[in-house]
Amino acid sequence: MKKTLIINLRCFGDIMSTSNLIKNLKGNDPTQQIYILTMSEYQKITDLMKGVEKSFTIDRQQILTLSHKKIYNDSRSLNSFLMNLLPINEIYWDNIINYSNDKIGTYICSYLKSNNTTAKIFGLHYDKHKNLVSSSLWSEIFNEVLTSYKHTPFHFVDLYNNISEVAPDENFWKIPKTLEKNDIITRRNFEQIRKHYTINGSAPKIIGIQLTASSIEKQIEPNEISCLINKILDNPEIYPVILIAPNKKEKEIAEKLSKEFDNSLVIVEADLNAIPSVIKQLDILATPDTLIKHIGDLFETPTVEVSRGSSPFLKQGTCNPNNYILSSQFSTRYSSHISENKISSNDIYQCILALVDNKNEKKISLSPGISLYRSLRDDLGINYKFITGVNEIDHELSRQISRQYLNTLVTKEISIKLTSQILEYKTSDIKIWINSQINQLTQCTKALLSTIRDLKQAQTNSKSGERFVHSLDRLISFADMSLLCSIPVALFRGRVDSFQSPKKEEIEKLSYELKNDLQTAVKFLKCLEESVLSIEKETLTNKYSRIVENTITDFSRR
Partner 1 sequence: MKTNKSQLVEIKLSKNNLEVPIADGVLLHSIYDPIREAHKFTTQNAPIISKNTKFLIFGSGYGYHINAIINKLKESKINDFEIYVIEPNVELFNKYSSSKQMLNDKRIVYLVGKTPNQLYKIDEFVDFLLAKPAVLPHTASFNLNEQYFTEFLTYNAPNCLGDYIENIHDSGLKDYLKQFPIDIQLKEISNKLSKVAKDEYVVEDFILLAFNELQKTSRLL
- Residues near partner 1 (CB under 8 A) are 11, 41, 58, 60-68, 70-79, 81-83, 85, 102-104, 107-108, 110-111, 114-115, 126, 128-130, 500-501
Question: What would you measure as the largest C-alpha separation in the chain, in angstroms?
Answer: 104
Nearer Cβ to partner 1, position 106 or 402? 106
**Of 305, 313, 42, which is closest to residue 156 (Cα–Cα)?**
313
Judged by beta carbon, residue 11 or residue 449, the one nearer partner 1 is 11
**Which residue, 72 or 334, has its beta carbon nearer to partner 1?**
72
Residue 194 CA, chain-centre distance (Å), reads 35
Closest distance to partner 1 from the beta carbon of 150 (Å): 25
Contact status, residue 179 vs residue 254, Cβ threshold 8 Å: no
Minimum Å gap between C-beta 145 and partner 1 is 23
The count of other CB atoms within 10 Å of the CB of residue 526 is 13
**Smallest separation, CB 78 to partner 1 (Å):** 6
| Neighbouring-strand partners of residue 49 | 176
CB neighbours of residue 474 within 10 Å: 16
Task: Give min distance, CB of 117 to partner 1, in A.
Answer: 11
Q: Which residues contact 297 (CB under 8 A, 6 or more apart)?
A: 20, 303, 318, 319, 320, 323
Between CA 311 and CA 296 the distance in angstroms is 17
- Do the Cβ atoms of 290 and 263 come closer than 8 Å? no
Q: DSSP 3-state assignment of 370?
A: strand
Distances in Å between the Cα of 117 and the Cα atoms of 90, 285, 366, 483 are 13, 46, 55, 39
Q: Is 114 helix (H, G, I), strand (E, B) or coil?
A: helix
Q: What sign has the CA pseudo-torsion 503, 508, 513, 519?
A: positive
Residue with Cβ nearer partner 1 (71 or 199) = 71
Q: What does the DSSP assignment read for 442-501?
A: HHHHHHHHHHHHHHHHHHH-GGGHHHHHHHHHHHHGGGGS-STTHHHHHHHHHHHHTSSS
* CB-based burial label for 287 (10 Å; 0-12, 13-18, 19+): buried
Minimum CB separation of residue 70 from partner 1 in Å reads 4
Pairing label, strands 132-134, 124-126: antiparallel
| Rounded distance between C-alpha atoms, residue 467 and residue 82, angstroms | 47
- Min CB(416)–partner 1 separation in Å: 42
User: In whole angstroms, how close is the CB of 64 to partner 1 at the nearest point?
Assistant: 5
Give the residue with the Cβ less far from partner 1, 64 or 552: 64
CB 76, min distance to partner 1, A? 6
Residues in the chain, how many? Answer: 558
At its nearest, how many Å lie between partner 1 and the CB of residue 60?
Answer: 7
- Closer to partner 1 by CB, 504 or 523: give it: 504
CB of 290 to partner 1, least distance (A): 15
* Dihedral class, residue 318 (left if φ above 0, else alpha if ψ from -120 to 50, else beta): beta
Query: Could you give the C-alpha distances from 391 to 336, 394, 397, in angstroms and in order?
Result: 21, 9, 10
Q: How far apart are CA 217 and CA 339, in angstroms?
A: 11
Rg of the chain over all Cα atoms, to the nearest angstrom: 27
- Those residues with Cβ within 8 angstroms of residue 318's Cβ, 6 or more apart along the chain or in another chain: 293, 296, 297, 303, 305, 324, 325, 375
Closest distance to partner 1 from the beta carbon of 312 (Å): 17
Minimum Å distance from CB 211 to partner 1? 24
Q: Determine contact, residues 393/433, Cβ cutoff 8 Å.
A: yes
Nearer to partner 1, 63 or 430 (CB): 63
Q: Which is nearer to partner 1, 408 or 498 (CB)?
A: 498
Residue 310 or 551: the one with the smaller Cβ distance to partner 1 is 310
Q: How far is the CB of 114 from partner 1 (least distance, A)?
A: 4
* For partner 1, the closer CB: 114 or 411: 114
Name, in order, each residue with C-beta under 8 angstroms of 178's C-beta and a sequence gap of 6 or more: 276, 277, 280
Nearer to partner 1, 65 or 136 (CB): 65
Nearer to partner 1, 64 or 167 (CB): 64
Strand order of the β-sheet with 54-58 is 54-58, 33-39, 3-7, 95-98, 120-122
Q: Which residues pair with 209 in a beta bridge?
A: 242, 286
> Of 35 and 524, which CB lies nearer to partner 1 in the complex structure?
35
Q: Which is nearer to partner 1, 380 or 496 (CB)?
A: 496
Q: How far is the CB of 252 from partner 1 (least distance, A)?
A: 23
